[in-house]
Structure 1
Amino acid sequence: MTTYIDLQIASDSENLPSEETLTQWAGAAIGTARDETEISIRIVDAEEGAELNQTWRNKQGPTNVLSFPSDLPEELGLPLIGDLVICAPVVEREAREQQKTLEAHWAHMVVHGTLHLLGYDHIEDAEALEMEALETQVLTGLGYPAPYAMDELSPETT
């Protein structure tokens, strides 16, 4: 299984994961489901994050990760599964607020967003439990702590 990342950095943050690390995290979320996969990841600052969140979700302010699954016809056989937009300042703020390491929270956002690209969601409680269990499995498999407290429901991400 090979995962390719098309990385675009539109952020002034100095605390960004490397392309290699982003690829590792996304690949872990994909697992062995596909032979070859491509994902575009755009890392943005708050202004662009807020603009995209307003445009695509009709919500004010930036969010941590936006997922845009590919709508290419399957018969084309292209490996692109979609695009992730990750807002660096939001990830940094959330890591501090949740008392998580920045690296662990970045890993969580990449895994969470990639699972959305694969069709997972957390709108209904049963879907949220399934997605959160998979996120926990992937992240602990990568050596990070479980991302959710036992009494916590899904985060406000897409």
Structure 2
Amino acid sequence: MAEAALPSSPTSAHKHARRWIRHALARYDEFTVSIVSSDEGRALNRDYRHKDYATNVLTFDYAQEPMVLADLVLCAPVVESEARALGKPLAEHYAHLIVHGTLHAQGWDHETSEADAEAMEARESEILCGLGLEDPYQHSDR
């Protein structure tokens, strides 16, 4: 598999994020991607999900019709820590989480049932492999 190069500048990071989102979309939609600190990630997760810890990605979807409007918020320290723990390149983990959040914004949900989780994971794998990245669930027991 090709390894995703870590974006070297804000312009490069923006280009990569747009590509990852575009591959996960069924049609044209509008997204904002923010990278935040642990404190901000924790506050957002606490205030909106009532879970008092910083999580890797939060999806705030405002509309699904006529187009998806959403904000994706990624917590940099959590993403970096997870990438290290998984032995994955940082850019590849960001790609996975951006695809994951983009699917959530389109109504995919892995917390509703085992079948929904399997369907979402399969779609994530399909998208990431289409980007030339490794299947994040290939060696995972979820």
- When normalised by structure 1's length, the TM-score is 0.78
SS at match of 2:63: coil
Segments of 5+ residues of structure 2 without an aligned counterpart are 1-7
CA RMSD of aligned residues (A): 1.9
Q: How does 1:52-91 map to 2 (within 5 A)?
A: 52-71=44-63, 74=65, 77=66, 79-91=67-79
Q: How does 1:23-102 map to 2 (within 5 A)?
A: 23-30=18-25, 33-34=26-27, 36-71=28-63, 74=65, 77=66, 79-102=67-90
CA contact (8 A) 1:81 1:118 kept: no
Structure with the bigger percentage of helix: 2
Count of aligned pairs: 133
Identity of aligned residues (%): 43
Q: How does 1:100-119 map to 2 (within 5 A)?
A: 100-119=88-107
Segments of 5+ residues of structure 1 without an aligned counterpart are 1-13, 154-158
Change in CA separation of 1:15 and 1:121 when aligned onto 2, cut-off 3 Å: farther
Displacement over 6 Å in runs of 4+ = 14-17
Structure with the bigger percentage of strand: 1
Letter in 2 for 1:103: A
**Alpha-carbon distance in 2 for matches of 1:52, 1:149:** 31
SS at match of 1:70: strand
